[in-house]
Amino acid sequence: MAIKSRNKRGVEFNMASMSDLVFLLLIFFMITSTLIAPNAIKLLLPSSNSKTMAKQNITVYIDDQFHYYLDKRRVEETNLELILKSELATYSEGTVVLRSDKSVPVQYVVNVIDAINGINKETGQKHKVILATSQAK
C-alpha cells in the first residue's frame, strides 16, 4: 500500500511579489523627488535669524546681473508691474516672495516693492512682499 502525501513543497520562488515591491518603491521615490524643487536661479541670499514662513503665490528673482525673473522666466523692468498685476489678478491678498542676490543694490528691490504697492493702490487689494533670506550661521 503506497501512501503518498498530498502536500508537496514547491522549491521555486515566486517573483511576482518582489516585482510589485520594486514598482511600489519606484513610484514612491518618483513622487518624493518631484516634491523637491530647487531654486531655478542660483542666488546668494542675505542672512537673517528670523524664521517667517508664509504661503507664497509668486516668486520674483533678482540675480547678480540685475535681471528680474518671475517664476523662472525673465522679465524686463519696464514690464514688471504689468506682468505682476496679471499674475496677482486671481488673489485678493497675494504674497510675492522676493529672492534677491545679496550683491544687488537696494534700488532693484525697491522697484519690485514699488510695483506691488502700485498694484495695491490701483486695485485696492492687499498684496505683500516678503524678502527671502538664508539661515544665518
Q: Residue 57 is part of a domain; what is its CATH number?
A: 3.30.420
Burial environment of residue 1 by CB neighbours within 10 A (0 to 12, 13 to 18, 19 or more) = exposed
Number of domains in the chain: 1
Q: Taking the model in full, what pTM does it have? A: 0.59
**Residue at 4 is within a domain:** no
The three cell numbers locating residue 55: 504661503
The three cell numbers locating residue 70: 518671475
pLDDT tens figures, 13-34? 777 788 888 999 999 888 877 6
**Residue at 77 is within a domain:** yes
**Residue at 13 is within a domain:** no
**Residue at 115 is within a domain:** yes
In the Cβ-directed half-sphere of 3, how many Cα atoms lie within 13 Å?
0
**Residue at 113 is within a domain:** yes
Predicted local confidence at residue 38, as pLDDT: 56
Classify 68 as helix, strand or coil: strand
The three cell numbers locating residue 4: 503518498
Taking only Cα atoms into account, the Rg of the chain, rounded to an integer number of angstroms, comes to 27
The parent domain of residue 84 ranges over 47-135
